[in-house]
Chains A and B, each alone.
Chain A
Amino acid sequence: MAYKSARLMDRGVKGILLAAAFLAVAIVFTIGLFILRQALPAFSQIGVFRLLSGTEWRPSQSIFGLLPMILGSLLVTLGAIVMGVPLALGCAILMAEIAPRSITAVIRPAVQLLGGIPSVVFGLFGMRVLVPLIRQIPVPSNTGFSILAASIVLAVMILPTITTVSEDAIRAVSGDYRDASLALGATKWQTIVGVVLPAARSGIVASVVLGIGRALGETMAMIMVIGNSVIIPQPLNDNPLTILLSQARTLTGNIAVEIGYSSGLQTNALYATGVVLFLLTILINSLAHALVKERAI
């Protein structure tokens, strides 16, 4: 009797878990379909190519080109990765391989706390501290609201994700590899670079992909520091680096800034912005995974 009820329980639990998993998948599809359906008029009336390659976005004249926002999103994400990944990896390597427990016990909670700060607070900090600082750089028409400010804020925001996931990946590398390397007379640093990091590569790449996802999706903090001008980011003077001082608008910001008062085709175009964002994330994800697979041995 007890056996039978245990079997029944077993089946019941399996059913519940299956339903939960199915619900999750169903929600993803529902959201995807909803966005796609709302975006379809934009794709059919404006045209996919013109929507993606158009350099101007003027809703009042029914001109909807997303290229400035695509570039804006890509540039801030790139900037965040360039600044954030070395920092995060450094933290992860330090915590997993080098620092004694007493130091790790301070750094880890601090980094994790960073992950718990609401993005609007990051935005506030960026707006009130970073933007005025950047405004001091003597370049004409530099307002401080810039790709640079957005990249710095994003770099800090993706730090906890990349650090935590990378640290786990590094810790998961078998101690046998470390022993083998050290026993061959390699130094600790040679061991980290030559064996540990390559062995942890897929986990590290996964952490960066998560970071990119977070960076592409970040909205509030971006709106607050990037200026939101619909322009193709360009250097402000002869120095190409001043492109970092250019204002920009991200795909996420585009939706958030305009959805409140939009109507008609503009609303559809904003949904299309969401579709582009979605596809961009998937694209970068699969690129990263292909990269790992190709180099894995």
Chain B
Amino acid sequence: MSEETKLQTDNLDLYYNKFKALNHISVHIPANRITAVIGPSGCGKSTFLRAFNRMNELIPDVRVEGQVLLDGQDVFALDEVELRRRVGMVFQRPNPFPKSIYDNVAYGPRAHGIHNHQMLDAIVERSLRSAAIWDEVKDELGKSALRLSGGQQQRLCIARALAVEPEVILMDEPASALDPSATLRIEELMQQLKAEYTILIVTHNMQQAARASDYTAFFMMDDNRAGTLVEFGPTRQIFTNPRDHRTEDYISGRFG
């Protein structure tokens, strides 16, 4: 692999109290690519994702060992507010704030001190355009975000994440609550976004990983129920010629 590395973990262990949820994860996530994280339920995919923006810390009694790097910088040495500005996140369930569409997108920039109306207007329009939802909402930016459809809400959440100009977007099963056509729109959007952003996406849906991602990381639970990385590689290789028999078993639907 000659790709530039954006995110990296070295021997990452994560504990919920005494329970080990991630076991020695070492991986390089390439820049400006879509990397899918797949694996059976409970294998630590989401926990792994949240290690990069330190959202695991919000849960009491979480302990992390090993390194997590963003552009070679230790994320634990960064201020978490600054880190989360650089590493955005889209959640499984669309979670727009109970505010107007405009205020949802402007929330991040405002939190970072931008209050100039023209600047905010420009950011909101640019973000909504990038998230491919501008044409649907441009005439009703004052409308409550909760009145949008689920698919629109999720694209709004993507726009909201883009508004703070992150470098990385973490997506935690962003389409699992959406219907097939809304899912397809999110996948198309990801292809447009990868020119500017590094995308890491957790998905339950193997077809989605196969058609939408450049690289795939396959996670499984080990004998102690801790999540381990079984195999990482270009998506095509993982799906056509996996090196590990467990990957092949999972992909061919023999378990999971």
Contact = CB atoms under 8 A, between A and B. Distances in A.
**A and B interact:** yes
Interface of A: 174, 176-187, 190, 194-195, 198-199, 297
Contacts of B112: 185
A208 B214 CA distance: 55
Interface string B216-233: 000000000000000000
B87 to A, nearest CB: 9
A297 B157 CA distance: 18
Nearest to B143: A297
Contact of B111 (A178, A179, A186, A199): A186
Interface string B98-116: 1110000001101110000
A179 B55 contact: yes
A179 B108 contact: no
Contacts of B144: 297
B179 to A, nearest CB: 20
Please indicate which of the listed interface residues B85, B98, B112, B164 has the most CB atoms of chain A within 10 Å of its own CB. B98
Contacts, number: 69
Contacts of A187: 81, 111
A184 B98 contact: no
A185 B97 contact: no
B84 interface: yes
A182 B99 CA distance: 16
The 7 closest A-B pairs by CB, nearest first: A185-B85, A176-B95, A186-B111, A184-B108, A183-B89, A185-B84, A297-B144
B98 A199 contact: yes
B108 A185 contact: yes
B194 to A, nearest CB: 20
Nearest to B145: A297
Contacts of A185: 81-85, 108, 111-112, 164
Nearest to B110: A194
Nearest to A201: B98
B77 interface: no
Given A186-B107, A186-B111, A194-B107, A180 B157 contact: yes
B147 to A, nearest CB: 9
Given A199-B98, A297-B99, A184 B91 contact: no
A176 to B, nearest CB: 4
Contacts of A179: 55, 58, 91, 95
A179 B81 CA distance: 13
A176 B84 CA distance: 16
Contacts of A181: 97, 107, 111
A174 B91 CA distance: 14
Given A184-B88, A186-B111, A195 B97 contact: yes
A276 B51 CA distance: 61
B102 to A, nearest CB: 11
Contacts of A182: 55, 58, 84
25 contacts: A176-B93, A178-B58, A180-B95, A180-B97, A181-B111, A183-B91, A184-B88, A184-B160, A184-B161, A185-B81, A185-B82, A185-B83, A185-B85, A185-B164, A187-B111, A194-B107, A194-B110, A194-B111, A198-B98, A199-B97, A199-B98, A297-B98, A297-B99, A297-B100, A297-B144
